[in-house]
A and B are shown apart, each in its own frame.
Chain A
Amino acid sequence: MISQVSKEDIKEIEKVSKKLRRNVLLMIHNAKSGHPGGSLSCIDILNVLFTKFMKYYPDCESNPNYKYRDRFILSKGHASASLYAILAHLGFIKEDELMTFRKFGSRLQGHPCSFKMPGIEVSTGSLGQGLSIGCGMALGLRLDKINSKIYVFMGDGEIEEGSVWEAAMNASHNKLNNLIAFVDRNRLQIDGSTESVKSVGDIKAKFEAFGWNTIEINGHNIQEIYNAISVAQTSDKPFVIIADTIKGYGVSFMANNPGWHGKAPNDEQLEQALKELE
Chain B
Amino acid sequence: MQRECKSVRSVYGSTLVELGKKNKNIVVLDADLSCSTQTQLFAKEFPERFFNVGIAEQDLMTTAAGLSCTGKIPFVSTFAMFATGRAWEQIRNTICYSNLNVKIAATHGGITVGEDGASHQALEDISLMRSIPNMTVIVPADAEETKQAVEFAASYKGPVYIRIARTSLPDIFDSSYKFTPYKAMIMREGDDITLITNGETLVETLDCATILEEKGISSEIINMPVVKPIDAETIIKSAKKTNRVFTIENHSVIGGLGSAVCEVLSENYPVKVTRIGTNDEFGQSGTAKELMNYYGLSSVKLAEKITGFLK
B59: contacting residue among A122, A143, A167, CB under 8 A: A167
**B172 interface residue (CB < 8 Å to A):** no
Residue of chain A at shortest CB distance from B29: A136
Q: Are A133 and B66 neighbours in the complex by a CB distance under 8 Å?
A: yes
**B116 interface residue (CB < 8 Å to A):** no
**B36 interface residue (CB < 8 Å to A):** no
Inter-chain CA distance A115–B101, complex, in Å, is 13
Q: Are A140 and B70 neighbours in the complex by a CB distance under 8 Å?
A: yes
Q: Which residues of B contact A136 (CB under 8 A)?
A: 62-70, 74
**A123 interface residue (CB < 8 Å to B):** yes
Inter-chain CA distance A166–B54, complex, in Å, is 9
**B18 interface residue (CB < 8 Å to A):** no
**A125 interface residue (CB < 8 Å to B):** yes
Q: Which residues of B contact A166 (CB under 8 A)?
A: 53-54, 56, 58-59
**A163 interface residue (CB < 8 Å to B):** yes
Inter-chain CA distance A199–B59, complex, in Å, is 23
Q: Which residues of B contact A143 (CB under 8 A)?
A: 27, 48-49, 70, 72
Inter-chain CA distance A146–B72, complex, in Å, is 13
Q: Are B93 and A141 neighbours in the complex by a CB distance under 8 Å?
A: no
Q: Which residues of B contact A124 (CB under 8 A)?
A: 94
Q: Which residues of A contact B304 (CB under 8 A)?
A: none
A139: contacting residue among B66, B93, B99, B100, CB under 8 A: B66
Q: Which residues of A contact B62 (CB under 8 A)?
A: 129, 132-133, 135-136, 163, 167
Instruction: Report A121 CB to chain B, min CB distance, Å.
Output: 6
Q: Which residues of A contact B70 (CB under 8 A)?
A: 136-137, 140-141, 143-144, 146
**B136 interface residue (CB < 8 Å to A):** no
Inter-chain CA distance A121–B70, complex, in Å, is 10
Q: Are B66 and A170 neighbours in the complex by a CB distance under 8 Å?
A: no
**A272 interface residue (CB < 8 Å to B):** no
**A138 interface residue (CB < 8 Å to B):** yes
Q: Which residues of A contact B27 (CB under 8 A)?
A: 140, 143
**B51 interface residue (CB < 8 Å to A):** yes
**A38 interface residue (CB < 8 Å to B):** no
Instruction: Report B214 CB to chain A, min CB distance, Å.
Output: 55
Q: Which residues of B contact A141 (CB under 8 A)?
A: 70
Q: Which residues of A contact B99 (CB under 8 A)?
A: 115
Inter-chain CA distance A173–B190, complex, in Å, is 58
**B71 interface residue (CB < 8 Å to A):** yes
Q: Which residues of A contact B64 (CB under 8 A)?
A: 136
Instruction: Report A5 CB to chain B, min CB distance, Å.
Output: 31
**B45 interface residue (CB < 8 Å to A):** no
**B89 interface residue (CB < 8 Å to A):** yes
**Chain B interface category by residue count:** 20 to 34
Instruction: Report A115 CB to chain B, min CB distance, Å.
Output: 6
Inter-chain CA distance A117–B66, complex, in Å, is 18
B67: contacting residue among A71, A140, A163, CB under 8 A: A140
* Chain A CB within 10 A, most for which of B27, B65, B70, B74: B70
Q: Are A125 and B93 neighbours in the complex by a CB distance under 8 Å?
A: yes
Query: Which residues of B64-90 are within 8 A (CB) of A?
Result: 64-72, 74, 89-90
Q: Are A123 and B97 neighbours in the complex by a CB distance under 8 Å?
A: yes
Q: Are A135 and B65 neighbours in the complex by a CB distance under 8 Å?
A: no
Query: Which residues of B35-58 are within 8 A (CB) of A?
Result: 48-49, 51, 53-54, 56, 58
**B268 interface residue (CB < 8 Å to A):** no
**A110 interface residue (CB < 8 Å to B):** no
Q: Are A137 and B58 neighbours in the complex by a CB distance under 8 Å?
A: no
**A269 interface residue (CB < 8 Å to B):** no
**B131 interface residue (CB < 8 Å to A):** no
The 8 A CB mask of A153-196 against B (1 = contact, 0 = none) is 00000000011001101100110000000000000000000000
Q: Which residues of B contact A114 (CB under 8 A)?
A: 98
Inter-chain CA distance A169–B63, complex, in Å, is 12
Q: Which residues of A contact B89 (CB under 8 A)?
A: 126
Instruction: Report A152 CB to chain B, min CB distance, Å.
Output: 10
Q: Which residues of A contact B61 (CB under 8 A)?
A: 132
A132: contacting residue among B49, B63, B74, B100, CB under 8 A: B63
**A258 interface residue (CB < 8 Å to B):** no
**A134 interface residue (CB < 8 Å to B):** yes
Given known A163-B59, A166-B53, A170-B53, contact A139–B98 (CB-CB < 8 A): no
User: Shortest 8 CB-CB distances between A and B: which pairs?
Assistant: A136-B66, A140-B70, A132-B62, A166-B59, A166-B56, A136-B63, A133-B66, A137-B66
Contacts A166-B54, A167-B63 aside, 18 further interface pairs with beta carbons under 8 A come to A122-B66, A126-B94, A129-B94, A132-B61, A136-B62, A136-B68, A140-B66, A140-B68, A140-B69, A140-B71, A143-B72, A144-B70, A163-B58, A166-B58, A167-B62, A170-B56, A173-B54, A174-B51
A-B contact pairs, 18 of them (CB 8 A): A123-B94, A125-B93, A129-B90, A132-B66, A133-B66, A135-B59, A135-B62, A136-B74, A140-B70, A141-B70, A143-B70, A162-B58, A163-B56, A163-B62, A166-B56, A166-B58, A170-B54, A174-B51
